[in-house]
Structure 1
Amino acid sequence: MLTVLNSAWALLLGLLLLMIGNGLQSTLLGVRGQIEGFSAFEMSVVMAAYFMGFLGGSRMAPRMIARVGHVRVFSALASMVSAVVILFPVFTDPWLWAIGRLIIGFCFSGVYVTAESWLNNTATNETRGQTLSLYVLVQVVGLIAGQALLVVADPSGFVLFVIPSVLVSISFAPILLSVTPAPSFGTAKPMTLLELYRASPLGSVGMLLLGTVFSAQFGMSAVYGAEAGLSVQQISIFVSAFFVGALVIQYPLGWLSDRMDRRVLILGASAVGLGGAALGLALGAGQPEMLLAAAFLIGGVSNPLYSLLIAHTNDFLQPEDMAAASGGLVFINGLGAIGGPIIAGGLMQIVGPAGFFATIAFFFTLLVAYAAWRTTRRPAPTAEETGSYAPLGPTVTPVAVEIAQEYAIDTALEEQENPPDAP
C-alpha cells in the first residue's frame, strides 16, 4: 500500500479534490433548486443531464486523448468544469442548469478517463489490486467530504459555488506537476451488447437496473431532502450516509464474493437495498435516524453491487474477453443512469418526496426477482472457478473497469499456473 502511495500520491490527491468538488456541487444544486422554486421534475432533468454527459464523455474522451494527449485534455476539461460550476448561481434557470450539468458530466468523465489511465500506468501486476482499493477509497472519502462542506456557507448565496470551482481548478496542479509521465493510451475493442448479454444475462440486466438505482440515489437524494423539509445540515448528513454505507460494506461483501455463489450474494444485497428503500418509504422524514439507516443500507449495497456484477460477469468469460467486456458494462450502466433521476423526479412530482424511495424500491425489486430467477437457470461456478473481486463504484469510467479486468486476468492466469491445490 505504501508503494502505491509513494508512486501515485499526486494522482490520488488530485482525484480527491475532484471528488470533493463533484460531491459538493451535485448536492448543492439539489438544495439550491428548491430555494429557487424548481419542481422535482425540473431538478430530475438537471440531474439526469449529468449522467447523459458522463456517458458521452466516457465514449469520446479516448478519441480526444489520442488526438491531443492527456495533459491538454485534462487541463481543458477541468477548466471547463470550474467555469460552469461558478455560473450556476448567475443563471438560475432549470434548462440552463441542465445544459451546465450536461457539460460537467461530459468533462468529469473525460477527466476521470485521463486520471484513471495515469493511475493504471503507475500500477504493476503486484499492486493493481491495492491501487483499485485506494482509488475507490479516495472517491468515497471525497464524496463524503464534499457533503461536509455544504454547511460552511448559505446555499442561497455564491460562496458554496466558488468552493467546488476552486477545488476543481487546483486539483490538476498536483497531477500535472508530478513526475509521473503521461501514459500511452489504448482501450480494448468492446464486446457487443448481445455477446455480453449471452455471456452473463444477470451481469447485463443487473448493470442496467443498478445504473437506475445509483443515479436516482446520487442525483436526487439532496432534492428529496429539500422537498421533505430537511435542514441543510440534515441533508448533508443524509447524503453522506449513502457513501458511508458504501465505505463500510464494500469490503465485507467483497470478502463474501470470493467464497459463495455470487448470484445469491447479488440477490441478498439487492434485498437489503430493497429493505432500506422500504424503510425510507414507510417512515419518510419523520424519523431522521431511520432515514439515515435507510440511506446507509441503500448506499452500502448499491456501490458494492457494481463490483459484484462485474465479477459475476467475469466468471463466465475467458480471460482474453474480460477487457473487451468493460466498455459494454459501463455503457449499459450509463443507459440506466440517465433514466434514474427522470423516473424518480417524475414520481416525486406526482406523489411527493416518497417517490424517491419508491423508485429505488421498484428497481431493487426487479433486481431481486431477476437474480432469483437466474439462480435457477444454470449451475454456479465453484469457488475455484470464479475470478477475483475488485472494488469499484458506479462513478468510474471504462478505464477503471479495464484496470479491474486486468487485475482479474492477472489473477486468473496466476491461478492457472499455480493451482491452489498444487504441491
Structure 2
Amino acid sequence: MITVLRTTWPLLLGVMLLLVGNGMQGTLLGIRGGYEKISTDHMAVVMSGYFAGFLLGSRLVPGMIQRVGHVRVFAALGSLISAVLILYAAVPHWLAWALLRVLIGFSFSGVYITAESWLNASTTNENRGQAMSAYMIVQMIGLVSAQFLINFGDPGGFMLFIVPSVLVSLAFTPILLSAQPAPAFGALKRMSFKRLYDVSPLGCIGIFVMGGVFSALLGMTSVWGTIKGMSVRDISAIVAAVYLGGLVAQFPIGWLSDRMDRRVLVLQLLILGIAAISFQLAIDPGIWGTLVVAAIAGGVANPVYALLLAHTNDYLDADDMAAASAGLLFLNGLGAIGGPLIVGRMMSVFGASAFWVFIGLLMSALAGYTGWRMTRRVALAPEAMGNFAVITPAATPLAVETALEAAQDDAAAQPEHPATEDLAAADYEAGAPEDVDHANPQ
C-alpha cells in the first residue's frame, strides 16, 4: 500500500479535493433551497439533474477523450465545475439550479473518468486492487469532510459556494502537474439489455431499484432535513452518517459475500434497512437515533449495489464483465434520475416522513423480488463465485471495470477449484431457468 500511495498520491489528493467540492454542493443546495423558499417538487428536479448529467457524461465523455485527449477534457470540465459552483449562489432559482446540476453532473462524470484512467495507467496488476481500494476510501473521506465544512459558514451567503469552487480548482494542480503521462483510452464495450437481463434478472432489477434508493439518500436527505426544520449541523451530520455507513460496511460485507450465497446477504441487508427505517417512522428517535438509521441506510445501499454487480458477474465470462457493468450502471443511472423526482412528489403530498417511506418501499420491493429469485435459481457454491469488489453507486464505468479486473486478478491468484464446471452443470440440472447463461461462471 505504501508503494501505491507513493506513486498515486497526486491523483488521490486531487480526487479527495474534488469530492469535498462535490459533497458540499449537494448538501448546500438542499439547505439553501429552504432559505430561498423553493418548493419540494422543484428541489427534487434540481437534485435529479445531477444524476441525469452524470449518466449523460458516462456515455459521451469517453468519445470526447478519444477526440481531444485527457488533458483538454479534464481542464475544460474542471473549469465548468468551478464556474457552476459560483453560479449557484449568484442565480438562486430552481430552474437555473436544475440546468446547472445537469452540467455539473456531466462535468464530474467526465473528470472522474479521466482521473480514473490515469490511476489505472499508473498501477500494475499486482497493486491495482490496493489502488482502487485507496481510491474508494479517499472518495468517502472527501464526501464526509465536506459535510463538516458546511458548518463553518452561512448557507444563505456566498462563502460556502466559493470554498468548493476553490477546492475543485486546487484539485487539478496535483493531477495535471503529475509526471504520469496521459494514458491511452479505449472504447467501452456494450451488451444488450436483453442479454444482460437473461444473465441476471436480479442484477438488472436490483441495480435499477438501488439507483432510486441511492439518489434519494444523497440528493434529498438535506431537503428532508430542511423541511423538518433541522439545523445545518444536524443535516450535515446525517448526510455524513450515510456516507460513513456505506464506507464501513463495504469491507466486512465483502468478506462475507465471498463465502455465502450473495442473494441471502442482499436479502438480510435489505431486511436490516427496512427494520431501521420502520424504527425511524414509528418513534422519530431524534438526532442520535436518526444518525444510526442514516448510517444503516448507507451501510445497506452501498454494499447491496456492489453485491448485485458481483452476483451478475458470477454468471459471466471475464471478457463480458466490463460490458455488463456498463449496462448495469446505465440502469442504475435511470433509477437515480427518478429517485428524487418521486420522493419529492411524495413529500409534497404526504409530508417529510414520505422520504423514509419511499426508501423503505423500494427496499421492501427489492427484498420481495430477491426472495422470489432465490426460488428460481439454485445458489452457486462459494468456489464458483468471483471475488467481491468494493464499488460505490457513484462509480463510473471505468472505475467499475478496473475494480472488477483487480478482483478477478485476486481470484486468479488463489488456488483453483477444479469442481467449478461441475458446480455450474449441477446448477443447471437442479432447475435453473433456461434464460440463464451458465458459461464459465466466474
Q: Provide the TM-score with structure 2 as the length reference.
A: 0.93
Q: Where does residue 397 of structure 2 map in the other structure?
A: 398
Q: Where does residue 204 of structure 1 map in the other structure?
A: 204
Secondary structure, aligned partner of 1:264: helix
Structure 1 stretch 319-328 or stretch 76-85: which is displaced more?
319-328
Aligned ranges 1:287-366 → 2 under 5 Å: 287-366=286-365
Deviation string 1:64-108 (CA, Å, 9 cap, x unpaired) is 000010011011001101001101111111011000101000000
Q: Where does residue 87 of structure 2 map in the other structure?
A: 87
The residue identity in structure 2 corresponding to 1:335 is: L
Q: Where does residue 170 of structure 1 map in the other structure?
A: 170
The residue identity in structure 2 corresponding to 1:185 is: F
Deviation string 1:321-344 (CA, Å, 9 cap, x unpaired) is 112212101101000000000011
Q: Is the 8 A contact 1:224 1:356 kept in 2?
A: yes
1:305 Cα deviation after fit: 1.4
Q: Is the 8 A contact 2:203 2:312 kept in 1?
A: yes
The residue identity in structure 1 corresponding to 2:263 is: R
Secondary structure, aligned partner of 1:89: helix
In 1, the alpha carbon distance for the partners of 2:19 and 2:165 equals 12
Structure 1 stretch 314-323 or stretch 269-278: which is displaced more?
269-278
Q: Is the 8 A contact 1:238 1:292 kept in 2?
A: yes
1:352 Cα deviation after fit: 1.1
1:242 Cα deviation after fit: 0.4
The residue identity in structure 2 corresponding to 1:354 is: S
Ranges in structure 1 where 5+ consecutive residues have no aligned partner: none
Residue 100 (1) aligns with residue 100 (2)? yes
In 2, the alpha carbon distance for the partners of 1:383 and 1:63 equals 38
1:412 Cα deviation after fit: 4.6
In 1, the alpha carbon distance for the partners of 2:3 and 2:20 equals 25
1:276 Cα deviation after fit: 2.3
Deviation string 1:251-297 (CA, Å, 9 cap, x unpaired) is 1101101110001011111112222222222234x611111111010
1:42 Cα deviation after fit: 0.7
1:351 Cα deviation after fit: 1.0
In 2, the alpha carbon distance for the partners of 1:324 and 1:13 equals 30
Secondary structure, aligned partner of 2:85: helix
Q: Is the 8 A contact 1:279 1:291 kept in 2?
A: no
In 1, the alpha carbon distance for the partners of 2:340 and 2:22 equals 17
Secondary structure, aligned partner of 2:260: coil
Deviation string 1:308-360 (CA, Å, 9 cap, x unpaired) is 11111111111121122121011010000000000110001011111111110
In 2, the alpha carbon distance for the partners of 1:151 and 1:413 equals 47
Q: Where does residue 233 of structure 2 map in the other structure?
A: 233
Q: Is the 8 A contact 1:322 1:409 kept in 2?
A: no
1:248 Cα deviation after fit: 1.5
In 2, the alpha carbon distance for the partners of 1:93 and 1:106 equals 20
Deviation string 1:215-261 (CA, Å, 9 cap, x unpaired) is 00000000011101110111111111101111221111011011100
Q: Is the 8 A contact 2:210 2:301 kept in 1?
A: yes
Residue 221 (1) aligns with residue 221 (2)? yes
The residue identity in structure 2 corresponding to 1:251 is: F
Structure 1 stretch 11-20 or stretch 183-192: which is displaced more?
183-192
Aligned ranges 1:277-288 → 2 under 5 Å: 277-284=277-284, 287-288=286-287
Q: Is the 8 A contact 1:279 1:290 kept in 2?
A: no
Secondary structure, aligned partner of 2:89: coil
Q: Where does residue 419 of structure 1 map in the other structure?
A: 416
Residue 148 (1) aligns with residue 119 (2)? no
Q: Where does residue 28 of structure 1 map in the other structure?
A: 28
In 2, the alpha carbon distance for the partners of 1:409 and 1:258 equals 12
Q: Is the 8 A contact 1:211 1:336 kept in 2?
A: yes
In 1, the alpha carbon distance for the partners of 2:48 and 2:107 equals 15
In 2, the alpha carbon distance for the partners of 1:164 and 1:271 equals 37
The residue identity in structure 2 corresponding to 1:2 is: I
Q: Is the 8 A contact 1:320 1:409 kept in 2?
A: no
Residue 371 (1) aligns with residue 370 (2)? yes
In 1, the alpha carbon distance for the partners of 2:328 and 2:124 equals 24
In 2, the alpha carbon distance for the partners of 1:215 and 1:203 equals 18
In 1, the alpha carbon distance for the partners of 2:412 and 2:192 equals 24
In 1, the alpha carbon distance for the partners of 2:58 and 2:148 equals 28
In 2, the alpha carbon distance for the partners of 1:96 and 1:276 equals 36
Deviation string 1:22-73 (CA, Å, 9 cap, x unpaired) is 0001000000001100111110000000000000001001000000100110
Q: Where does residue 437 of structure 2 map in the other structure?
A: none
Q: Where does residue 255 of structure 1 map in the other structure?
A: 255
Q: Is the 8 A contact 1:147 1:239 kept in 2?
A: yes
Compared CA separation, residues 257 and 64, structure 1 to 2 (3 A): same
Secondary structure, aligned partner of 1:387: coil
Q: Where does residue 379 of structure 2 map in the other structure?
A: 380
1:420 Cα deviation after fit: 5.4
Q: Is the 8 A contact 1:326 1:405 kept in 2?
A: no
Ranges in structure 2 where 5+ consecutive residues have no aligned partner: 420-442
CA RMSD of aligned residues (A): 1.3
Q: Percent identity?
A: 52
Q: Provide the TM-score with structure 1 as the length reference.
A: 0.97
1:421 Cα deviation after fit: 8.1
In 2, the alpha carbon distance for the partners of 1:278 and 1:40 equals 23
Deviation string 1:4-34 (CA, Å, 9 cap, x unpaired) is 1111110000000000000001000000001
In 2, the alpha carbon distance for the partners of 1:283 and 1:132 equals 40
The residue identity in structure 2 corresponding to 1:148 is: F
Q: Is the 8 A contact 1:89 1:161 kept in 2?
A: yes
In 2, the alpha carbon distance for the partners of 1:386 and 1:186 equals 28
Q: Is the 8 A contact 2:129 2:407 kept in 1?
A: no
In 1, the alpha carbon distance for the partners of 2:242 and 2:42 equals 23
In 1, the alpha carbon distance for the partners of 2:81 and 2:283 equals 38
Q: Where does residue 269 of structure 2 map in the other structure?
A: 269
Q: Is the 8 A contact 2:270 2:363 kept in 1?
A: yes
1:414 Cα deviation after fit: 4.2
In 1, the alpha carbon distance for the partners of 2:276 and 2:215 equals 16
Deviation string 1:144-193 (CA, Å, 9 cap, x unpaired) is 00000111011111100001100111111100001111110013321111
Compared CA separation, residues 252 and 238, structure 1 to 2 (3 A): same
